[in-house]
A = this chain, B = another copy of it.
Amino acid sequence: MRLSKTFIKTLRSAPKDEIAKNGALLTRAGYVHKEMAGVYDFLPLGLRVIENIKKIIREELNAIGCEEVLMATLQNPEPWEKTGRFSNQQVDIWFKTELSSGGELGLAPTHEEPVVQMMKNYISSYKDLPLYIYQFQTKFRNELRAKSGILRGREFLMKDLYSFHTSEEDLDRFYGEVEQAYERIFERVGLGDCTFETFASGGIFSKYSHEYQTFLPVGEDTVYYNTDKSVVLNKEVLLPEVLADLGVTREELEEATSAEVANIFKLKFKYSEPLELKFADADNSEKIVYMGCYGIGVSRLMGVIAEKFADEKGLVWPESVAPFRYHVIGIGEAGASVAEEFYAKHLDDALLDDRANVRPGEKFADAELMGLPYRIVFSDKTLAEGRAEVTVRASGEKKLVKIEEL
């Protein structure tokens, strides 16, 4: 991408109402544009980060046999009424709308009910199971407040996976595979060493559910952890019987603030029973399908990564999700020409700051704000030695690298 050709510009300031660091930095660096609280547009660089995160998630889910679909936003109330979740008392974050031909519709805040309803067309026998179905879909949640940038959206991108099984054992087996896939995903997006599978309330159908919490000072959750015992639990389950179950005492736990980036849940019959998703087992008896569901907040994950690694100069992207790997700057005529040559060889990996009439100092500041992993500067000074100056954004480390070794 050529900075001279793109519409995005770094901005001196973020909108006044943008109090979250991720929202302010992503706006100033040209990754997102805020429409209103909790509603953002993704600009070319931001969309590339989202697509990079999706690609990693997609690869890991496909590897464990999951199938990708794309379900609708507009929700027929019927299946939601059967589970009791269409009522605003039960689910208080619905956006609802009216069909001009009559009747109320909802905007999907999640997709358990429609996916169960849909699968009634495709599951009838034990031979059809297990099945694992996921999508990347915009979810709508009518939050009363949304002041955390893209960490909490009224409209946000989520990956939601639903699994269907003949037995609790098979659900447990797949649940374990998803846990491993999630570990690989968080590792690959750069959050492996600060994201932890966390015990959380399981509701009425299982003792615990699991959240994935990334330790983050601006997170909305509080967790308690003990590194030696590899235990992390949400404050909501900080109860004597839970501590006994996990084999830790209150004194052994430290407190941390964190952001929930994912959660996984053994639904069992929670939705399949009221919606009558059944199968004929090998002995021909009719049974209810066991289910699990597994979410990852994709746009939230982008916000968490932005928030986590940013420093006083701007964003710092891990290589795996960065919109481009190289931020290329040529200084002087010769520098600009070698920068063009390098860019031509790395079109998919490089952002070229070829803006005329912008001083090098400003280009350097923009490179730091935008946060690509490697800044490569070609100037008369470096070229005299046949080299380029490479700066690692995360560490600030600078090296003069021979051009042929770049």
Cβ of A142 under 8 Å from chain B: yes
The number of residues on chain A lying at the interface, defined by a beta carbon within 8 Å of a beta carbon of chain B, is: 56
Cβ of A286 under 8 Å from chain B: no
Number of copies: 2
Contacting B at CB under 8 A, from A82-138, are 92-93, 95-101, 105, 107, 114, 118-119, 121-123, 128, 131, 133, 138
- Is there contact, CB below 8 Å, between A35 and B72? yes
- Is there contact, CB below 8 Å, between B154 and A67? no
Cβ of A194 under 8 Å from chain B: no
Output the least CB separation between A13 and chain B (Å).
11
- Is there contact, CB below 8 Å, between B70 and A7? no
Q: Which of A39-47, A247-255, A276-284, A387-395 contacts B (4 or more CB under 8 A)?
A: A39-47
Write the chain B residue with the least CB distance to A95.
B97
- Is there contact, CB below 8 Å, between B72 and A44? no
Cβ of A406 under 8 Å from chain B: no
Given A118-B33, A118-B41, decide whether A128 and B72 contact each other with a Cβ distance below 8 A. Answer: no
For the complex, give the distance between the alpha carbons of A97 and B154 in Å. Answer: 13
- Is there contact, CB below 8 Å, between B69 and A47? yes
Contact of A39 among B33, B72, B96 (CB under 8 A): B72
Output the least CB separation between A368 and chain B (Å).
21
Cβ of A319 under 8 Å from chain B: no
Cβ of A201 under 8 Å from chain B: no
**Nearest 8 Cβ contacts at the A-B interface:** A42-B70, A41-B71, A100-B142, A7-B131, A95-B97, A39-B72, A97-B97, A35-B72
